[in-house]
Amino acid sequence: MNSAEWIAKADKYVMKTYGRYPLVPVRGEGCRLWDADGKEYLDFLAGVAVNNLGHCHPKVVAALQQQAATLIHCSNYYNIPQQIELAELLCSHSFADKAFFCNSGAEANEAAIKLARKYSREKYGENRYEIITAAESFHGRTMATVSATGQEKVQKFFDPLLHGFRHVPFDDVPALKAAISPNTCAVMLEPIQGEGGVNVPSPGYFQAVRQICDEHNLLFIFDEVQVGMGRTGKLFAHEHFGVTPDIMTLAKALAGGAPIGTMLARDEVAVAFSPGTHGSTFGGNPLVTAAAVATVRTILEEGILNRTEEIGDYLLGELEALKGKYPFITEVRGIGLMIGMGLAFPAGDIVKKGLERGVLLNVTHDTVLRFVPPLVVTKQEIDRMIVILDGILAEITP
């Protein structure tokens, strides 16, 4: 079947939850994808920051193949060695002592919300349940994470929302201080807002948040679902800001494209989850954790982090050069390979033209082009994308 036939069938049978671009990818390798008509694309979206090692990285593929032929699923037992090794790898490279595994970013944030409430209630009293999150944040599509999310368009039609979330402007210390009540138990933030438009906070913001949390006995939760796993040139994005959280969530890129989520915490906090308090049938299954172990090892052992920093600077420089050329580009911002280009108008048409010309771009928050290619992207691939983007921008008469 060709792409048009697949799209017609999808329109008939698949619920239309996403605004999908008309692309039917059937094969991927590194930064390249091929559609059902055999057309090749340069991928600067990577499944929204998922395929950090590129499509079908040989080590991830080998881990999945080997594990699939050995044991795929088993719940309620010790999943050795994959889940345990993954927990050790993540804890030994972060502030955390313990890991909980689930299947998505939303689920990881659900776990963080539940853990923060249980820990705080047990320690400080029944009324400690409120969580402060940021305006324009995105934390997922389940009811608790929709309630935590700071975007009305995500919440519309789904009320009543879960009680106990307060939203404050991102990067605003006085607003955060003012939102604290005797009921507050935690502050949950993305180190760089992804769906909010690639928003990088000012230097010192997270240190101030950490201090406020310490003064008021609040837990500091980082949602690293989009920016973790090397995307910014450090394994976890919060490392750029010189602070450590009490809880961190990861998903997307953790298992090289296979579905996974995890919530990590310091021991003192983690013990609030005792047997019977939380869980998920497929969480930490051997198949996905084998892929994640291969992914984390590859990121750590193959110089991916340093490379990301270097190639990210190169991409940022090239995009800044375009900003010098086109006055309707308002800003270029980001760290590593998490980069946003603000435009003076909605960016949807640019993405459509990119698709026609064989490059996958992405728009977030209407007016921001988001560049999140696989971390293995080469300078040549960046150059090719820039030529195509330059051509598209040159046709715009705002």
Q: Residue by residue, what is the 3-state secondary structure of 134-190?
A: ECCCCCCCCHHHHHHCCCHHHHCCCCCCCCCEEEECCCCHHHHHHHCCCCEEEEEEC
Query: Following DSSP, what letter does each residue of 78-98 receive, concatenated?
Result: --TTHHHHHHHHHHHTSS-SE
Cβ distance to ligand PMP smaller for residue 259 or 312: 259
- Binding residues for pyridoxal 5'-phosphate, by number, are 105-106, 138, 223-226, 281
DSSP 254: G
Bond preceding residue 191 cis, omega within 30 of 0: no
What is the nearest approach in angstroms of ligand PMP to the Cβ of residue 92? 24
Which has the closest alpha carbon to 295: 325, 268, 260? 260
Cβ distance to ligand PMP smaller for residue 245 or 393: 245
Cβ distance to ligand PMP smaller for residue 115 or 251: 251
> Using the rule CB under 6 A, which residue among 45, 63, 106, 269 binds ligand PMP?
106
Q: How many residues does the chain have?
A: 398
What is the nearest approach in angstroms of ligand PMP to the Cβ of residue 277? 21
Which has the closest alpha carbon to 44: 311, 345, 393? 311
Which residue numbers are catalytic? 138, 223, 252
DSSP 378: -
Cβ distance to ligand PMP smaller for residue 28 or 105: 105
Pattern 29-58, ligand PMP, x by CB under 6 A: -------------------x----------
**Residues whose CB falls within 8 Å of the CB of residue 106, separated by 6 or more in sequence, listed in order:** 139, 140, 141, 142, 145, 261
Q: Map the footprint of ligand PMP across residues 207-246, applying CB under 6 A.
A: 223, 225-226
Cβ distance to ligand PMP smaller for residue 94 or 226: 226
CA dist 250 and 254 (Å) reads: 7
CA dist 60 and 80 (Å) reads: 18
Pattern 108-137, ligand PMP, x by CB under 6 A: -x----------------------------
> Using the rule CB under 6 A, which residue among 138, 170, 205, 371 binds ligand PMP?
138
Q: Does 194 bind ligand PMP (CB under 6 A)?
A: yes
- For residue 241, count other CB atoms closer than 10 A to its CB: 21
User: 223 — phi, psi (to 5°)?
Assistant: -90, 100
- Binding residues for N(2)-acetyl-L-ornithine, by number, are 141, 280
- Binding residues, by number, are 105-106, 138, 141, 223-226, 280-281
Q: Does 342 bind ligand PMP (CB under 6 A)?
A: no
Cβ distance to ligand PMP smaller for residue 35 or 136: 136
> Using the rule CB under 6 A, which residue among 28, 30, 54, 140 binds ligand PMP?
140
Which pair of structure tokens corresponds to residue 11? 């329109």
Q: Which residue is nearest to ligand PMP (CB)?
A: 105
| Terminal alpha carbon distance of the chain | 39
CA dist 88 and 367 (Å) reads: 40
> Using the rule CB under 6 A, which residue among 105, 230, 312, 373 binds ligand PMP?
105
Distances in Å between the Cα of 63 and the Cα atoms of 107, 284, 286, 302, 337 are 24, 15, 10, 17, 26
Q: How many residues touch ligand PMP (CB under 6 A)?
A: 15
Which has the closest alpha carbon to 201: 161, 168, 179? 168
Q: Does 104 bind ligand PMP (CB under 6 A)?
A: yes
What is the nearest approach in angstroms of ligand PMP to the Cβ of residue 383? 28
Cβ distance to ligand PMP smaller for residue 141 or 177: 141
Contact window for ligand PMP (CB under 6 A) among 19-27, 111-119, 187-195, 306-314 = 187-195
Chain contacts with ligand PMP (rule: CB under 6 A) = 48, 104-106, 109, 138-140, 190, 194-195, 223, 225-226, 251
